[in-house]
Structure 1
Amino acid sequence: MSSSKRDDVCEVFCHDPEKVRRIKERLPETEPLVPVFKALADPTRLKIACALMEDGELCVCDVAHVLETTVASASHHLRLMKNLGLAKSRKEGKLVFYSLKDEHVRQILAIAMEHAMEHDAESRR
């Protein structure tokens, strides 16, 4: 076993039963979080979310051009994001505009971007 693998695993198997019990009692339900992270784990939807964060509101056609894809593909991703509670839409005449659902989504993205930039800077050192 390489030294890096040995450093990732306890050399003896033990646990603190009281700590484990306490954590399990307080652990929140994670199932409702899965769709949010699943949606943002897709590179196309993450790019859409970042574009919406950057500009605030974009019509489906603008999103398609940002992604360099079809309107149908952009619309599919936007509709999924809306159904998962990450985006909202409004219709103005023949155009449909999308924006991020609320400040929470913006915060998730901003924190993730900050984390990624810090991690990237650390790995360059």
Structure 2
Amino acid sequence: MEEYKVENSSSEDLDSETLFIVSQTFKALGDPTRIRILHLLFKKECSVNAIAEALDIRQSTVSHQLRFLKNLRLVKYRREGTTLYYSPDDEHVMLILKQMIDHASHS
């Protein structure tokens, strides 16, 4: 079996803020609705309405989940008139999500 090493890191190096951010990020990736939203945003920038329509979920649910993701800096937005368009804000997390989807799809 192949051994995996993490360079320049040990459990002693993790301060409480880092631990909190990592645990919250995994919490974000542990919710099916948030995974669906991030997966959609990985493909294209979307407004709340477009996300709600594409995923067949209520706009209020989308807004709530986007707020959670934005607070973790996993998504960002740009304003065009009165519409906000969301996109991924952290390619590291998107890579983890893609790898997990690929892993789950691997037969």
Could you tell me which residue of structure 2 aligns to residue 4 of structure 1?
none
CA displacement 1:21-69 (0-9 Å, x = unmatched): xxxx9225233211101011111001000000122x1011001112212
**Identical aligned residues as a percent:** 38
Could you tell me which residue of structure 1 aligns to residue 100 of structure 2?
112
> Gaps spanning 5+ residues in structure 1: where?
1-24
Could you tell me which residue of structure 1 aligns to residue 38 of structure 2?
49
TM-score, normalised to structure 2's length? 0.79
Q: Shift of the alpha carbon at 1:97?
A: 0.6
Matches within 5 A, 1:1-125: 26-27=10-11, 28-29=13-14, 30-55=19-44, 57-118=45-106, 121=107
TM-score, normalised to structure 1's length? 0.69
* Greater C-alpha Rg: 1
Task: Quote the RMSD (CA, aligned, Å).
Answer: 1.6
Of residues 28-37 and 81-90 in structure 1, the stretch that sits farther from structure 2 once superposed is 28-37
Structure number with greater CO (CA < 8 Å, separation at least 6) is 2
Retained in 1: the 8 A contact 2:28–2:34?
yes
Q: Which has the higher helix share?
A: 1
> Gaps spanning 5+ residues in structure 2: where?
1-8
Over 2 Å off, 4+ runs: 28-32
